[in-house]
Amino acid sequence: MNDCLFCRIIKGEIPSVKVFENDDVLAFKDINPQAPFHAVVIPKQHITGAAAITAENSAAVAKVFEAIAEIAAAENLSDGFRVVTNCGEAAGQTVPHLHFHLWARRDLGWPPG
């Protein structure tokens, strides 16, 4: 996907502050952080969002959550963290490449807005 912002970040065409990377997953600091720790965790496979997850591509999602557990350990987020995905415009999705917000290091209210 040449015109996908997050695919371009994966390719290094747009710079990012990387938090984690392996063959399947990239995590980088959000440009507009909503918590003292705010990473965006993405599969390298282009999937448009949570509504496009299927039996054929869901392994990419498992890889993302394996990465999240590794990041939480490496960043010492043992106090707790939140993982959020926005799906669709009404939910606030602005980039059509599946991504998970990883928030930590502040009290996170519930229910969220």
Cα(82)–Cα(40) distance, rounded to whole angstroms?
12
CB 83 within 8 A of CB 102: yes
Rule CB under 5 A: say whether 7 interacts with Zn ion.
yes
42 phi and psi, to 5 degrees? -130, 145
**Which x/- pattern over 36-75 shows residues binding Zn ion (rule: CB under 5 A)?**
----------x-----------------------------
Min CB(47)–ligand 5GP separation in Å: 13
Q: Minimum distance between the CB of residue 94 and ligand 5GP, rounded to whole angstroms?
A: 4
1 forms part of the interface with Zn ion (CB under 5 A): yes
Q: Which CA distances in Å does 22 have to 19, 49, 60, 61?
A: 11, 20, 12, 14
Give 94's contacts (C-beta < 8 A, 6+ positions apart). 86
Active-site annotation holder among 38, 46, 97, 99: 99
- List residues binding ligand 5GP (CB under 6 A): 5, 14, 16, 28-32, 40, 86, 92-95, 99
In angstroms, how far is CA 107 from the centroid of its own chain? 20
Concerning whether 38 is annotated as a catalytic residue, the answer is: no
Catalytic site residues? Answer: 99
Binding site for Zn ion (CB under 5 A): 1, 4, 6-7, 46, 97
